[in-house]
Amino acid sequence: MKNIVIIGAGPAGRFAAMDAAEKSNNVTLIEKRHIGGKCLNHACMVVCALADVAKHVSESKNFNDLGIVESQIKLNYTKIAQKIRETQKRIRPILTAETTGTGVEYVRGEATVDAERKVVVVDDEDEYPYDKLLVCTGSSPRLPNIPGVENAYTYKDTLKFKEIPEKLVIIGGGSTAAEYANIFSCFGSQVDVLCRSSFLKMLDDSRTEEYIVANLLKNTIVHENVEIKEITDRSVITNYGEIEGTVLLATGVVPNSDIVKDIVEVDKKGNIIVDSHMQTSNPDIYAAGDVIGGLLSTPVSRMEGMVAINNIMDNEVEADYSLVPLTITLNYDVSYLKGDEVNNNGKELAIPGAAGPGSFWNMLTGKTGLTKENIDLESGKINNILAITPSSNIALPYMVKAIKDGDADFGNFIEIHPSTDGIFKLTQYFKRYL
Ligand SMILES: Cc1cc2nc3c(=O)[nH]c(=O)nc-3n(C[C@H](O)[C@H](O)[C@H](O)COP(=O)(O)OP(=O)(O)OC[C@H]3O[C@@H](n4cnc5c(N)ncnc54)[C@H](O)[C@@H]3O)c2cc1C
């Protein structure tokens, strides 16, 4: 039995703690704010809650435009924010019970580390000795070095808006920028997205970017290659002039590694450097989740936390970053593969989305989505998949599992029509080239 102390009860720390406790260790999980980390309290769940309302507004508008429904939606943003907070409050004790139910000792307070004595100190008072320490302290919004940056909101503040901004200027060009552009443009804001280089460049596909801007983001202007000079309390001053609106930063995150930065090696950005076992330069200290940088997603953070625990318990396991599915939550999910093995080197095939749940009523406007695969015709290996469909966030992970298990025979695969057809049918279609 080992004394394992874990700092941070976000996705990485919480899953690691439960896994370690179930494997009969003494586990202490320390959290300075709320259980669930940024995922429940500021990020994934808030985006998901707001995106559900946005989807409702967007569908209602479509039904009105088609003349099949007559309704007028009036949003109350303060109420939306209040209900999200109430829901988070309801979820936290459930997560706490789930965690402590496995035998984890859950401690609230701010942790610091004394690596010489191998103890974690909480709120400068209580001490928790460890055999092995796992650092899962996550990340915080990155505030770029721009004059007036204090005038901008970040993802941590979106529930503080008193009302829906008439104009919103989003600085950043990644998933978070796209998600907030979708949400607030559906809510009625005129949105400007300012990108330092290109929009959604992680998709590495300008035609998909164009599809998203033209078909999914309404009332949104995307500006690329913008240099930002200053942020004021009501605008952003750029090399192209002044753009007015409430300013929201979607400029990425920085790792919360300060408490160990003098104890373990960190890179230039402050990410804790780990090996494939999640072990740091100090053999008794492991790290997982956003604090080590990388793909910055909840399932990846959880996977890393559990890899760390396995290695702490001497079961040698390596983190596997091949074919990691990710999603941008818009009115259709934009799901795509990321990971070591993904490339655009093969042959590409694309089909428009089918009519089905969530897309039927867009058939008449031709906006049913898009699915693309890139395959190596010699080996038959799927290099990448991109799926813009209502259910792609569910279909793609299962597709990845099938690919990883080497099961490319979809002949006897029984689907639920019409949700998964796009990706699986495309794979079948490709088989004629093999
Ligand atoms: C706007 C936004 C939307 C996102 N949406 C998605 C999504 O839809 N899907 C997805 O997979 N990912 C999403 N992500 C990413 C996801 O939220 C993170 O990858 C994930 O939360 C990282 O988990 P973590 O446990 O490493 O860190 P965190 O969730 O950041 O948790 C770290 C915890 O450590 C605590 N802590 C820090 N320092 C100390 C200390 N000294 N003492 C005690 N406790 C401490 C913090 O309070 C925090 O609770 C999103 C991110 C953002 C910003």
> Which CATH architecture does the domain made up of 324-433 adopt?
2-Layer Sandwich (3.30)
CB 335 less than 6 A from any atom of ligand 1: no
CB 13 less than 6 A from any atom of ligand 1: yes
34 CA → ligand 1 middle, Å: 11
391 CA → ligand 1 middle, Å: 25
Q: Which of 271, 298, 335 to mutate to test the pocket of ligand 1 (most atoms within 8 A of CB)?
A: 298
Tell whether the model's pLDDT for residue 277 goes beyond 70.
yes
297 CA → ligand 1 middle, Å: 8
Residue-wise pLDDT tens digits, 58-112: 999 999 999 999 999 999 999 999 999 999 999 999 999 999 999 999 999 999 9
251 CA → ligand 1 middle, Å: 15
Tell whether the model's pLDDT for residue 52 goes beyond 70.
yes
Helix/strand/coil for 395? helix
Q: Which CATH code for domain 3-43+78-140+253-312?
A: 3.50.50.60
Q: Residue 153 in contact with residue 233, Cβ under 8 Å?
A: no
pLDDT the model gives residue 355: 84
Residue-wise pLDDT tens digits, 240-264: 999 999 999 999 999 999 999 999 9
CB 391 less than 6 A from any atom of ligand 1: no
CB 110 less than 6 A from any atom of ligand 1: yes
Q: Residue 75 in contact with residue 187, Cβ under 8 Å?
A: yes
Tell whether the model's pLDDT for residue 379 goes beyond 90.
no
Could you state, in order of their start, the residue ranges of all structural domains in the chain?
3-43+78-140+253-312, 149-249, 324-433
Lowest mean pLDDT among 10-19, 53-62, 142-151, 370-379: 370-379
pLDDT the model gives residue 399: 82
Q: Identical fold at 3-43+78-140+253-312 and 149-249?
A: yes
Lowest mean pLDDT among 150-164, 254-268, 404-418: 404-418
Helix/strand/coil for 264? coil
Which of 104, 55, 57, 94 shows the shortest CA–CA distance to 76? 57
- From residue 375, give the alpha-carbon distance in Å to each of 46, 125, 172, 334, 434: 36, 57, 31, 19, 10
42 CA → ligand 1 middle, Å: 8
pLDDT the model gives residue 419: 58
Q: How would residue 50 be classed by pLDDT, with cut points 50, 70 and 90?
A: very high
> Helices then strands (H, E): number in the chain?
9, 22
Given CATH 3.50.50.60, say whether it is the number of domain 149-249: yes
For all residues of the chain together, what is the average pLDDT?
93
Residue-wise pLDDT tens digits, 3-32: 999 999 999 999 999 999 998 789 999 999
Tell whether the model's pLDDT for residue 308 goes beyond 80.
yes
